[in-house]
Homo-oligomer: A and B are copies of this chain.
Amino acid sequence: MSENGTPGARDTTALDLRSGATLDPPTSSRLPVHTTAAIGPDAALPAPPAAAEPETPALRTVETHLDEILAAVPQPEPIELAVLDAQGLLCAEEVVSARALPAFDQAALDGYAVRAEDVAAATPDVPVELAVVGETVAGAAGPTALAPGLAQKVGVGAMLPTGADVVVPAVWTDGGLVRVQVHGAPEAGSYVRRAGDDVSPGTVAVRTGTPIGPAQISLLAAVGRDRVQVRPRPRVAVLSAGSELVDITAQPTPGQVVDVNTYALAAAARDAGAAAYRWGILPTDRRRLTEVLESQLLRSDLVLIAGTFAAEGDLVQEVLAELGPMRFRQVTMHPGPVQGFGRLGRDEVPVICVPGEPVAALVSFEVFVRPAIRSMLGKRQLFRRTVQAISAERLVSLLGYRQYLHGQVMRHPDGGYVVEPLGDGDEAMLARMARANCLVVVDEDVTEVAEGGLVTVMPLLLGG
C-alpha cells in the first residue's frame, strides 16, 4: 500500500478509451487492450484547455483518504456475549481459568491403572500378572483407591484411582478381567492425564485479541465460561441517495434505476463482519431526510451511503453538512473518483459516502469500508491479502490514478497465478463483476502493464 502516485495530476475525471481510433494508445498485442480507466498521457489526446479544468483542492490519493477514515473510525466498547454468539469475534478479555483442565488425574487411554513399580519387570516375553479389582469408566462417581500389587481396568477419561501412577495400554495386556498379564513396563506417569496438564488454575486460557472459533469455544466452555467479553460487530446502516432510484420490487420507468446498492453493500458489510441494516432509498423531502439521517446516526456505529453526489445543489450533501463536518473529494482512483467522509451528529458517528454506480460502490467498499469495519472489529489484518499474478492481457492506466479492475485469477500450471481482466474498462457492468473473483490493482505510478507482465491481484474470497 505504498504511495507512489502523482498526486498533482489534475485529470479528475477518469475516462475510457473504448473505440475512438485516434485516441487508442498504440498496441501490438493481438489480445484486446484494457484501457482500464483513463486517457493515458501517451495517447494522442487533446489536452483539455486550461479554462476547462476547474481547481480541485479536494483531490487526494486513495491512501490519504483511507488513512483519514481509519484514523477516525472508533473502536466500539467490548460487550459480553454467550459463547456461541461470540463466534468469529475477537476476545476482549484475558480469560483466566478458575479450574484445572483436566480437573482430575485420568486415564489417557483404555487400559489398566497400576503402580509402575508393580510392572517394572514386565517384558514382552516375561509378562507380569496382577489381580484386577474392578473397572471404572469416564463419569463414574467418586474416587477409588488401588492397593499395591493390584490393577484396575480403566476407560479413557476415567479417574485414576489413588495409588496408581501409570496406565498400561490395553493392547500391551491380555485384556483379562479377573487377572491381567502385562507385557510392557511404562514409566511412572505414562498414559495419565494429570490434573492441570492442559490448563492450570489461574492461568490465561484465552488471550485478549484471540479470534473466537470452534476450538476457542471448546476451551472457554471447558473452563466454565458460558459468556465472554468480545469486540462487537459494528452496526452499519446502509442507505442510498438518488432521485432516479426506485425500490427493487418496483418496475422502473424510463430514466429510473433500481436501488441495488443497499442490498449489495449490506451483503458486503455482513461479509466483512458487520451487523448491517439496510434502510433503503433516502427520502427527497428535506425534513424527512434529516430525520432519517439523524435517527440512523443515533443507532449506528457507521453510516454508509451510496449515491451520485453532484458537485453542487445536492440535497443530501446539504443535509449531511448540517449534521457535521462532511467532505466530498475527488480521489485519484478508478472507478469511483468522488468519495465522502465525515463524523456527524452528537456522537461523531463516521459516515462514508461511496459512488452510486453499483460497480464503483462495491469497489469503494473494498477499498475504504471493509478495512474500516475490520478496524472496528479489532482485527489486526485490515486488508485482503494480495498476490502477484501474470496479466493475460495488456493494461493501460493513467499516471497518478490507482486503477481497480475486475478479473478472474487462477493458478498457473507452472506455479503462481494468472489473471484475466474482465471487460473493456467500462465500470458499469454488473454481469461482468458477478463473474469476477478478484480485483486487479494497478498502482498510481504504472501507466502500462505488458501482456505477461506482473500485476497485483486481490482475491475476493467471501468471508476472507
Contact = CB atoms under 8 A, between A and B. Distances in A.
A213 B259 CA distance: 17
A266 B11 CA distance: 54
A93 to B, nearest CB: 15
A29 interface: no
A52 interface: yes
A357 interface: yes
Contacts of A137: 308, 310
A211 interface: yes
A255 B219 CA distance: 18
A20 B190 CA distance: 7
Contact of A20 (B186, B253, B260): B186
A173 interface: yes
Interface string A115-145: 0000000011000000000000111111100
A434 B87 CA distance: 13
Contacts of A253: 141
A213 B430 CA distance: 13
A259 B138 CA distance: 13
Interface residues of A, number: 129
B226 A248 contact: yes
Nearest to A247: B226
A215 interface: yes
Contacts of A219: 260, 430-431, 433-434
Interface stretch (A41-49, A58-66, A146-154, A324-332): A41-49
A126 B232 CA distance: 62
Interface in A241-263: 242-245, 248-249, 251-261, 263
B138 A103 contact: no
B19 A186 contact: yes
A367 interface: no
Interface stretch (A68-76, A177-185, A286-294, A443-451): A177-185
A104 interface: yes
Given A20-B186, A434-B206, A263 B221 contact: yes
A45 to B, nearest CB: 7
Contacts of A19: 186-187, 189-190
Contact of A205 (B142, B431, B464): B431
A80 to B, nearest CB: 15
Contact of A171 (B15, B193, B265): B15
Given A109-B13, A139-B256, A20 B174 contact: no
A344 interface: no
Nearest to A269: B214
A183 B430 contact: no
A454 interface: no
A159 interface: yes
A343 to B, nearest CB: 26
A198 B431 contact: yes
A31 interface: no
A94 interface: no
B218 A433 contact: yes
A348 interface: no
A387 interface: no
B21 A187 contact: yes
B199 A224 contact: no
A407 interface: no
Contacts of A155: 308, 310
A254 B171 contact: no
A48 B110 CA distance: 14
Contacts of A123: 46
A333 interface: no
B198 A428 contact: yes
Nearest to A253: B141
A22 interface: yes
A157 interface: yes
B141 A52 contact: no
Interface of A: 11, 13-16, 18-23, 39, 45-49, 51-54, 83-84, 87-88, 101-104, 108-110, 123-124, 137-143, 155-157, 159, 169-175, 181, 183-187, 189-191, 193, 197-199, 205-206, 210-211, 213-222, 224-226, 242-245, 248-249, 251-261, 263-268, 270-271, 278, 308, 310, 356-358, 362, 365, 426, 428-434, 436, 460-464
